[in-house]
């Protein structure tokens, strides 16, 4: 069975790489011998269309896991086709010096999410087989008191990561911090960014016709993929990162004055420009004030009181009332 599957995947990859136009599922089913044998339309014992669709989707996902870039294209008649362009699947020779190899070793150890941890480990093994210097392995043998880690707890991370990679539109339910109920969003995902321990998705919101940033912890339910191509151009990654930075409240334009309960809110204290005592149980902090600060302050609940500006105080109160209403 393993040999048959490997042969089927190889034939599918060659078929997608060899075509100059997108091929539909029907055309692939009729062109690849393994599919023809398993799903003969004239054979009553052959598998159904549903069984073929499941096998094809698994095979396509397996090829993408192996690194093949497969494009999904919809023609004028609305039929979906697939192809793997050779220029998108061709890499120049890759060489690393010892310092670069060590940096890759550190990066591979960062991920705690199981799928990415396995992918990083597999990538390093392939690079070693291709002759990557041994400095990375020497680094792994040295004990370290500090280990870099990127935690991933949100269920939406993996499907969104794959959608960003494959340039596939998605649909999900999203609850804003000021809203009591989630709303459905149709998004063309650009990239995932991590700020202050939280993951954010940047993309094009089709319903609003504008770029938007979504915090993954506020996505409810399942992320569903949609067929078709992006309708909006994807900006440069550095531009997207600046958008996430601004949306997550990292770009400060003013200063806010807040009161913080003693012994609480250490992330706020680390960001404060000044801290002074304001009684036996409270401290007064001046912190940079930018977009998204109100949502961050709400997370500290009764341990934070906004003194000024009045607009920030009102925004925090509105969010707390929305949370209280459920």
* Phi, psi angles (nearest 5°) of residue 161: -60, -45
Residue 125 has a pLDDT of 67
Query: Which one of 128-137, 149-158, 204-213 scores highest in mean pLDDT?
Result: 204-213
pLDDT: which is higher, 237 or 80? 80
pLDDT at position 291: 65
**What confidence score (pLDDT) does residue 158 get?**
85
Position 118 confidence tier, pLDDT thresholds 50, 70, 90: low
Per residue in 144-167, pLDDT (tens digit) is 544 555 566 788 888 998 898 888
Question: In the predicted model, is pLDDT for residue 260 greater than 90?
Answer: yes
Which domains does the chain carry? 1-120 (no CATH), 156-238 (2.30.30), 254-325 (no CATH)
Residue 1 has pLDDT above 60, yes or no: no
What is the Cα–Cα distance from 321 to 313, expressed in whole angstroms?
12
Rounded mean pLDDT, 41-47: 56
Looking at residue 51, what is its pLDDT? 86
């Amino acid at each position: 069975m393993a040999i048959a599957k490997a042969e089927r995947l190889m034939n599918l990859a060659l078929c997608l790489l060899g075509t100059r136009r997108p091929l539909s599922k029907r055309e692939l089913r009729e062109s690849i011998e393994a599919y023809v044998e398993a799903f003969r339309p004239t054979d009553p014992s052959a598998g159904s269309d549903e069984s073929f669709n499941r096998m094809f989707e698994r095979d396509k996902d397996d090829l993408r896991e192996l690194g093949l870039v497969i494009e999904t294209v919809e023609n004028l008649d609305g039929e979906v086709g697939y192809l793997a362009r050779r220029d998108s699947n061709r890499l120049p020779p890759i060489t690393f010096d010892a310092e670069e190899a060590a940096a890759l070793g550190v990066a591979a150890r960062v991920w705690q999410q199981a799928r990415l941890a396995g992918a990083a480990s597999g990538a390093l093994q392939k690079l070693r087989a291709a002759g990557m210097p041994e400095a990375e392995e020497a680094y792994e043998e040295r004990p370290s008191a500090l280990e870099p880690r990127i935690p991933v707890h949100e269920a939406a991370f993996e499907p969104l990561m794959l959608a960003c990679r494959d340039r596939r539109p998605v649909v999900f339910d999203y609850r804003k911090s000021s809203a009591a109920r989630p709303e459905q969003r149709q998004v063309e995902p650009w990239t995932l960014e991590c700020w202050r321990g939280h993951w954010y998705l940047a993309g094009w919101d089709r319903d609003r016709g504008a770029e938007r940033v979504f915090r993954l912890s506020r996505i409810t339910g399942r992320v569903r993929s949609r067929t078709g191509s992006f309708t909006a151009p994807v900006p440069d990654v550095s531009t997207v990162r600046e958008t996430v930075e601004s949306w997550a409240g990292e770009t400060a334009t003013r200063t806010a004055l807040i009161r913080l309960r003693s012994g609480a809110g250490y992330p706020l204290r680390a960001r404060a420009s000044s801290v002074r005592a304001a009684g036996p149980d409270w401290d007064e902090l001046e912190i940079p004030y930018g977009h998204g600060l109100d949502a961050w302050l709400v997370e500290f609940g009764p341990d934070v009181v906004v003194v000024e500006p009045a607009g920030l105080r009102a925004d925090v109160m509105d969010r707390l009332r929305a949370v209280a209403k459920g």
